[in-house]
């Protein structure tokens, strides 16, 4: 047993030295109590683990089980009706107490954290940004939209917004004929926040669907086909949409851009992810203004 204790002490010293060698620069007594507490916890865990292991190794080697056997046995193997070791029970209760302390009092729930600081500074910056540009001119709004587009949207839609050879939607026009035909055939429910009802599938077929798709993708020019009456009930006769009913399918208004950025969108090409929370309200309006300018 004596040799085991000596070996345990050597192991503890070696593990503590290794820990200090790897993480010692963050240990500065009295300057940061979180790092001090972490180092102390590491030392305690190393010491307790080694001595508990030694204790039970010694018991396995030397102790003989005693007590009253339970009635049940499995393949001739019985179980003594002994209480759990006191140390186990105290360690279990101590772990629960420490968990409650850590959750309600300790780091990081009510102490400084870089994530918390980042969130606070981001919200503060967004508030200043919105206040500064609350009365932005149409020209500046469009210029801002172009800048945001080049950073956030161009990687998929291209710097010219033409969709990089079909990789993403061509944003120089509101909607393509293929997209209209697919939506008529399969329905759509992309914008659940702004247009919760969605659009059912099979609103038209055959020549009627072709006529509607040509009229809508062509920018609502000329006389509307008779079959478009089924669409105008939700999208309006001019295709400019109705709030909470059907989106604008004629141009990129603020509402449709806000919906796409918030909810993402599935189309005949693929799926666009949600950008919810990445742009401010002013930036969303700016992107809409820039996209409208592309079709002018």
pLDDT at 207: 92
Among 116, 109, 108, 115, residue whose Cα is nearest residue 35: 108
Per the model's pLDDT, the better-predicted residue between 163 and 15 turns out to be 163
Question: What does the alpha-carbon distance between residue 231 and residue 154 come to, in Å, rounded to a whole number?
Answer: 32
- 166 dihedral zone (left: phi>0; alpha: psi -120 to 50; beta): left
User: Predicted confidence band at 30 (pLDDT cuts at 50, 70, 90)?
Assistant: low
**244 near 106, Cβ under 8 Å?**
no
Q: Are strands 77-80 and 69-74 parallel, antiparallel or unpaired?
A: antiparallel
Tell me the per-residue pLDDT of 126-154, one tens digit each, with 9 for 90 and over: 888 888 888 888 899 999 999 999 999 99
**Cα dihedral sign, 117-150-264-168:** negative
Question: Is the pLDDT reported for residue 285 higher than 80?
Answer: yes
Mean pLDDT to the nearest integer, 218-236:
90
Question: What does the alpha-carbon distance between residue 219 and residue 161 come to, in Å, rounded to a whole number?
Answer: 18
Mean pLDDT to the nearest integer, 94-100:
92
Find the range with the poorest average confidence among 20-24, 111-115, 120-124.
Answer: 20-24
Residues written for the chain: 296
Q: Where are the domains of the chain?
A: 2-64+80-114, 137-294
Mean pLDDT for the chain overall: 85
Mean pLDDT to the nearest integer, 117-122:
88
Tell me the per-residue pLDDT of 187-223, one tens digit each, with 9 for 90 and over: 888 888 888 888 989 889 999 999 999 999 999 988 9
Mean pLDDT to the nearest integer, 236-264:
90
pLDDT at 141: 93
Tokens at residue 182, please?
Answer: 């697919």
**105 near 251, Cβ under 8 Å?**
no
Q: How far is CA 162 from the centre of its chain?
A: 29
**148 near 287, Cβ under 8 Å?**
yes
pLDDT at 26: 61
Tokens at residue 110, please?
Answer: 């009510």
Q: What are phi and psi of 291, to 5 degrees?
A: -65, -40
Helix (H, G, I), strand (E, B) or coil at 79: strand
pLDDT at 161: 93
Q: How far is CA 101 from the centre of its chain?
A: 28
pTM of the model: 0.58
pLDDT at 109: 57
Provide the CATH number for the domain formed by 137-294 in this structure: 1.10.760.10
Helical spans, DSSP H, in the chain: 2-23, 33-62, 86-104, 114-132, 138-148, 154-157, 177-186, 206-217, 229-235, 254-263, 281-294
Among 258, 251, 250, 284, residue whose Cα is nearest residue 191: 258
């Amino acid at each position: 047993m004596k040799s085991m204790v000596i070996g345990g002490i050597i192991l503890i010293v070696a593990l503590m030295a290794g820990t200090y060698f790897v993480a010692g620069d963050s240990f500065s007594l009295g300057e940061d109590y979180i790092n001090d507490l972490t180092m102390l916890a590491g030392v305690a865990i190393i010491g307790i683990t080694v001595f508990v292991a030694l204790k039970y190794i010694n018991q396995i080697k030397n102790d003989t089980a005693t007590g009253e056997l339970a009635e049940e046995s499995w393949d001739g193997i019985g179980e003594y009706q002994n209480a759990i070791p006191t140390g186990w029970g105290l360690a279990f209760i101590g772990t629960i107490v420490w968990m409650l302390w850590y959750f309600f009092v300790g780091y990081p729930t009510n102490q400084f954290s870089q994530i918390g600081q980042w969130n606070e500074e981001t919200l503060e910056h967004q508030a200043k940004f919105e206040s500064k540009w609350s009365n932005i001119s149409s020209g500046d709004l469009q210029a801002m939209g172009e800048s945001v587009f080049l950073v956030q949207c161009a990687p998929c839609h291209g710097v010219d917004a033409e969709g990089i050879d079909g990789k993403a939607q061509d944003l120089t026009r509101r909607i393509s004929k293929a997209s209209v035909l697919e939506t008529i055939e399969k329905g759509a429910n992309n914008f659940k926040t702004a247009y919760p009802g969605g659009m059912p599938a099979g609103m038209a077929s055959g020549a009627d669907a072709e006529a509607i798709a040509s009229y809508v993708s062509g920018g609502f020019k000329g006389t509307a086909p008779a079959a478009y009456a089924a669409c105008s009930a939700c999208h309006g006769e001019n295709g400019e949409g109705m709030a909470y009913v059907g989106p604008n399918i004629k141009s990129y208004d603020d509402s449709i851009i806000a919906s796409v950025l918030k909810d993402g969108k599935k189309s005949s090409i693929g799926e666009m992810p949600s950008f919810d929370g990445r742009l401010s309200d002013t930036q969303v309006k700016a992107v809409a203004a820039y996209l409208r300018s592309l079709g002018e």
